[in-house]
Structure 1
Amino acid sequence: MKGRKLLMIPGPIEFEPEVLQAMGIATNSHVAPDFINVFGNCLELMRKVWKSPKGQPFIVAGTGTLAMDMAISNLIEKEDDVLVVSSGYFGERFKDILNCYGANTTLLEAPIGEAVSVEAIEKELKNKSYKAITITHVDTSTGVLIDPKPIAKLAAKYNVLSILDGVCSVAGEEINQDEWELDIVLTASQKAIGVPPGLALLMASEKAMKVWKNRKTVVSNYYADWKNWLPIMQAYEARKPSYFGTPAVNLIVALEASLKIINKEGIDNRIKRHQLLANAFRKAINALDLKILPNSNDIAANTLSAVYYPESIDGVALRTKIASSDVIVAGGLLSEIKNNYFRVGHMGSVSANDLVSVLSALERALIALNYPIASGRSIQVFQNEILKN
């Protein structure tokens, strides 16, 4: 790319030109009729992406962590028992948030690179009565993908609320919220949704909204309280002005642009594209004799890849060499092994050409650091895999 580097981290990602153009328009009033219509369109388009025609969408200025905080603060009360299913850094974050609200948390944690089994989850649900279970669909720190469908079925079986952290999965991994009976699916704008950072996005089921309405204590978070935000969402969807806090006007205009792009592609087609590119990229990485962090392809995310450095290669030196080829990848995040691996984001508007650029930069960096590989090997494997489809 001329003039700037290709950003291939797990968020923020590369954004479509139409989205960036929408960001750059003159800022409108948050109660102007045309902006109210944009906001209402976003709420309706979210239901299509989430596959949740019955869900209640929320769009709030903030981060993915705010979306997590919003889910917990509105649904969980002090002394509630909550089961946290963790496959990395962000499972632990759920536990930290729950502790802030006085919940009794039980952490089911998988070894690094593995996923907690459905059998272990059901055993825990059988032995104890929980109000909710939290699931990290894709943990950005490890690249481990959890299948939420069987876990959501268990939650429904044991009458437990299911809260899915979809920050690194919504619009990149398969999600059928209503069909799978997921009560909360949350995300952030800067991942596969394809909008610059700054929006917390959340979809609540009818069951979740009922639990919130029937809670015994007040929500102990003023900004996140659905009591303040639900009337705003309802008003904007009815194309009426309302106010609680000033929305991120330009980001929401950009969100509409991106949601339109997603729905034009078709959410099922978009998921298949992510799966195709991720599978080809993993095979290319394997062709360089590099190992991914998830212990099998079955639990490897389609939105990012976490890759171990070769033992003989300094990680900082490798990423520096890659950056010199105008490609930016991310270092490790999981504290126990953060110096042992790097991460490549491949979500949103990512193309095969983007990943060829990553592989080319990676190969040059490895060769410059005297790692024994055949030049062009990973690109050949990647291209052959793409051409099969």
Structure 2
Amino acid sequence: MSAQAPHNTLLIPGPIEFDDAVLQSMSHYAESHVAPGFVKVFGETLTLVRKLFQSTDPAAQPFIIAGSGTLGWDIVSANLIERGENALVLNTGYFGDSFGQCLETYGANVTQLKSAIGERHSPEEVEQALKQKQYKLITLTHVDTSTGVLADIKGITQLVRRVSPDTLVIVDGVCSVGSEEIAFDEWDLDVVLTASQKAIGCPPGLSIVMTSARAIKAFESRKTPAGAYYASIANWLPIMRNYENNKPSYFATPPTQLVHALHTTLTQITGNVAARFAVHAEVSNKVKAAAAELGLKQLASRPEAQAHGMTALYLPEGLSPPDVLPGLLKRGVIFAAGLHKEIATKYIRFGHMGVSVTESKRGDIEKALVALKEALAEAKQAKGL
């Protein structure tokens, strides 16, 4: 039994439900951010981030910084590309738009390669784009939360290394890390940025970024100073290295309680990363099969392009999110409305990740599927459909 107060089950694409142990770890007594006990926990947490990303390269560097996933965009945009340099954004939805805007804010020359809604990019179109000009970096959203599209990170990275080997590969993994496989070293990635509150299963408030030696070198080789202070790699790199080497350090105060929570959830996750990915895939298949039985189509129509931590579902003709979401809430379940600007009124989003997936005894997924079936029937009846 959970020790948490009774509440509606949160099944949106983040934040997600939290494990009791994760929440309890946040009740840690007050401590100094440079005290030996906290320094040890923070250092261990950085090492656990390496395990999460399946990286053993000592030259790669994890960062854990107070902020949202959006801070990761700033870290990339302010540090790894200079004004006037080219960036290629592989856009599969809302968050490709936003990452591109962030890059432009720092003066990058951004090319948006947009896929059709629910589709991902073919290798041929990416190769053609890479051959048109030299790009300092390419960005991919591993799972775009607005569409549920899963990008082929491994395949696209192999293509980049063949066609444009000096181009940095930047992965927005905010809605994928913890539910989708990411082999940082093996796939030869340069940056994966994420946040604490989605499949990682920690409350919001931490920006988590993994960087390669190639990315650090690109920063160190800048011709102009980085256009940021809080988001500056120069300011954070020695801090992270010191903490991981069990040395107290200070640039800005870390959120000590959140770091304890992250340490707890990463300890759970990294005990068996492969098993975690497998159970997310298993539950995802179950959700998608149940949705199909209800006559619902996914935005991501092709199985290989469907995320395992969330599902974006078109509603039946004549229904919109306000017709269905209240019925779900009445049954104790919270889904999210559509987010993609062009079709937001036509679909809903079901987040199935973290503890709701890994602890089947909670019954979260089964409860949600029953609620979805009943809420749809109720909405159709009310509309006379």
Aligned to 1:104: 109
Give distance in 2, aligned partners of 1:173 and 1:336: 27
Q: 1:301, CA displacement in angstroms?
A: 0.5
Give distance in 1, aligned partners of 2:93 and 2:301: 14
2:281 to 266, 275, 281: 275
User: In the alignment, is the contact (CA less than 8 A) between 2:170 and 2:190 conserved in 1?
Assistant: yes
Question: Does structure 1 residue 130 correspond to structure 2 residue 131?
Answer: no
Give distance in 2, aligned partners of 1:79 and 1:253: 40
Aligned to 2:238: 231
TM alignment of 1:245-324, pairs within 5 A:
245-264=252-271, 266-324=272-330
User: In the alignment, is the contact (CA less than 8 A) between 1:313 and 1:371 conserved in 2?
Assistant: no
Aligned to 2:352: 346
Q: 1:370, CA displacement in angstroms?
A: 3.7
Instruction: Work out the number of aligned pairs and report it.
Output: 371
User: In the alignment, is the contact (CA less than 8 A) between 2:169 and 2:189 conserved in 1?
Assistant: yes
**SS of structure 1 residue aligned to 2:262:** helix
Q: 1:354, CA displacement in angstroms?
A: 1.3
Aligned to 1:80: 85
Q: Percent identity?
A: 47
TM alignment of 1:212-227, pairs within 5 A:
212-227=219-234
CA displacement 1:64-122 (0-9 Å, x = unmatched): 10012112211010011111100000001111011111111111000111111111001
1:21 to 20, 24, 27: 24
Structure 1 moving runs of 4+ over 3 Å? none
Give distance in 2, aligned partners of 1:313 and 1:109: 28
CA displacement 1:1-46 (0-9 Å, x = unmatched): 9721000010000011110001122221101111000000011011
**SS of structure 2 residue aligned to 1:179:** coil
**SS of structure 2 residue aligned to 1:38:** helix
Q: Specify the code of the residue in structure 2 equivalent to 1:245.
A: A
Give distance in 2, aligned partners of 1:99 and 1:234: 30
TM alignment of 1:369-380, pairs within 5 A:
369-370=379-380
Question: Does structure 1 residue 175 correspond to structure 2 residue 182?
Answer: yes
Aligned to 1:46: 49
**SS of structure 2 residue aligned to 1:355:** helix
Question: Does structure 1 residue 359 correspond to structure 2 residue 369?
Answer: yes
Give distance in 2, aligned partners of 1:191 and 1:56: 22
Unaligned segments of structure 1, at least 5 residues: 373-389
CA displacement 1:226-269 (0-9 Å, x = unmatched): 111011101111111111000011000000000000012x1111
Give distance in 2, aligned partners of 1:127 and 1:370: 50
Give distance in 2, aligned partners of 1:246 and 1:149: 36
**SS of structure 2 residue aligned to 1:369:** helix
2:13 to 10, 16, 19: 10
Give distance in 1, aligned partners of 2:242 and 2:373: 53
Aligned to 1:386: none
Aligned to 2:378: 368
Q: 1:298, CA displacement in angstroms?
A: 1.7
Moved more, 358-367 or 34-43: 358-367
**SS of structure 2 residue aligned to 1:344:** strand
Q: Specify the code of the residue in structure 2 equivalent to 1:177.
A: F
User: In the alignment, is the contact (CA less than 8 A) between 2:199 and 2:309 conserved in 1?
Assistant: yes
Give distance in 2, aligned partners of 1:205 and 1:133: 15
Unaligned segments of structure 2, at least 5 residues: none
Q: Specify the code of the residue in structure 1 equivalent to 2:171.
A: L
Give distance in 2, aligned partners of 1:168 and 1:46: 16
Aligned to 1:336: 342
User: In the alignment, is the contact (CA less than 8 A) between 1:329 and 1:342 conserved in 2?
Assistant: yes
Aligned to 1:190: 197
Q: Specify the code of the residue in structure 2 equivalent to 1:169.
A: S
User: In the alignment, is the contact (CA less than 8 A) between 2:243 and 2:249 conserved in 1?
Assistant: yes
**SS of structure 2 residue aligned to 1:53:** coil
Q: Specify the code of the residue in structure 1 equivalent to 2:208.
A: L
Q: Specify the code of the residue in structure 2 equivalent to 1:135.
A: L
Q: 1:369, CA displacement in angstroms?
A: 2.4
Give distance in 2, aligned partners of 1:117 and 1:314: 31
Q: Specify the code of the residue in structure 1 equivalent to 2:376.
A: L
User: In the alignment, is the contact (CA less than 8 A) between 1:195 and 1:258 conserved in 2?
Assistant: yes
Q: 1:371, CA displacement in angstroms?
A: 5.5
